[in-house]
Structures are given as structure tokens and as C-alpha cells.
Amino acid sequence: MKKKVVLIFGYNDYALEIAKNIRDTYENILIYSLNEEFDRAKNKTDFEVRGFDLSDRWDDIAEYVDFKNSIAFCVLEDSAQNIFLTISLRSLFSDLNIIALSNNKDTANKLQMAGANKVIPLVQTTAEIISEMMEKPIVKEVFHTILFEGGALKITQIEMNGTNPYLGHEIFELDWNIKYGIIPLSVIQEDEKNEFIYASKIKHNRVKEGDIFIIVGYERDIQEFEKVLGRRDDVNWRNWSR
């Protein structure tokens, strides 16, 4: 019997973030890593990772994938490879919903011509994303509640203890939102600079004892999180750096 599957082509931060965010919706998620990267990728995540070559004809997935109800994400970091992959998938599977990532307008146009149903640009700035979010009433309400009404959501900082199971992990690998309902915002490491958690210069740093993470979550979740990972110190909303 053919199944509804999410196929993610490319092993990188974008692929892992996509997989983490859809795992509650889709039961079958496969990440395909280029063969030269496969050995590095296969034991680094709990998602199923398979190797592939751009010349593959995809006979294996054709046997069990329900293409009308499945999705493919093309997130290869090399633009030319991503375009070639999109052309290949579209030529073989006319009903497959293909979503591709692009790093500029020219690449986005080429991906659409190659057959992608939707292209997501990576050049959108953090400021633009925040601006778009703030236009949504529910987001405005959450920010207002946190900042001015002392609601259920809290921001606090947690100092990593010596028994923390995440010590040595790269910051981009943290799955706190899934396991604990906690969203990390920034981190203060030994240089004492408060760095945005998703900034490219910090996300590959490794978690060390004494690191301080600024987090947001519900009070009950923060209390459980503290028991496992560190010592809590509530944050002043008007100045939530150290």
C-alpha cells in the first residue's frame, strides 16, 4: 500500500528544522543525503536518513509513495544541484508537491521553471520576518501579555549544570521545544555576549557547563526544564541580557 510521505532532499540545518516541525503531522519522514555526506549524516539524527545520487531514478520511492498526497522539500545548499534535483523529480513524478529553497530571486525563478510548486526564499531578513509576525493579532496579544500583563508565558535564563545531557551538543541540535515545550531565544557563553540563538555564527557552538540560555515558556514547563538542565534566574523584561 502506498503511503503519504515527506521526502526531504539535503542534509543540513534547514532539513532538520523542517523535519522537526512536521513530525507531529506526518508519520513518514525520509531525509535524503547526498552520498558524499551520507556517512556524516546517518548517525546524527533520529530521523531516517538515506543516501542518494543526483543521477538516481528513484525506483525505490516509486514503489510505496502516494505522490498525490506527499511532499518533497528540495533543500540542497548548492543552487545548481537543487535546480537539477527539482527538474528530475518533476519529470518523474507529475503529481508530487515540490517545495524548494532558494538563496536569491534568480534561483527562485529557475526553481519555479524547473517545476517547484512553491519556492521559499532564504534572503528574507529576520527583521522582515518579525515585522510580518507582528502584523498577526495573536502574536501581538502574546507579546503584550508577556511584557505588560504578567501572563502565563515567561522569559527566564537557565545556567547549564554539569550533569546536563546536552553538554557537547551543537546549539542548532537542541530539541527543547519538542521535549520540554521551551523555546530558546539567545545564549551567553564565555565571552559574555548575548547572541541570538539562530545566528549563523553561534548555532554551531557547543553547549558547555556555565552557558546561560534565555528561554521562553510556560511556568510549569520552565520548572520541569530547570530540574533537568540547570539553575534558573528570572529575567528583567526591560533588560534581558546579563
Please list the ranges in the chain whose pLDDT falls under 70: 36, 38-43, 123-153, 198-200, 230, 232-242
Q: CA-CA distance, 203 to 195, in Å (whole number)?
A: 9
Q: CA-CA distance, 165 to 207, in Å (whole number)?
A: 10
- What domains lie within the chain, and their CATH numbers? 6-121 (3.40.50.720), 127-234 (3.30.70.1450)
Residue 41's H or E segment, with its range, is helix 35-41
Q: CA-CA distance, 15 to 130, in Å (whole number)?
A: 22
Q: CA-CA distance, 86 to 197, in Å (whole number)?
A: 31
pLDDT of residue 40: 66
Helices (H) and strands (E) in the chain, counts: 9, 11
pLDDT of residue 126: 41
Kindly list the distances between the CA atom of residue 62 and the CA atoms of 54, 84, 172, in Å, as whole numbers in the listed order: 16, 19, 33
First to last CA, the chain: 56
pLDDT of residue 46: 79
pLDDT of residue 41: 60
pLDDT of residue 152: 58
Single pTM value for the model: 0.53
Q: What is the pLDDT of residues 43-97, one digit of tens each?
A: 677 788 888 888 777 877 888 899 999 999 999 988 888 998 998 899 889 999 9
pLDDT of residue 236: 45
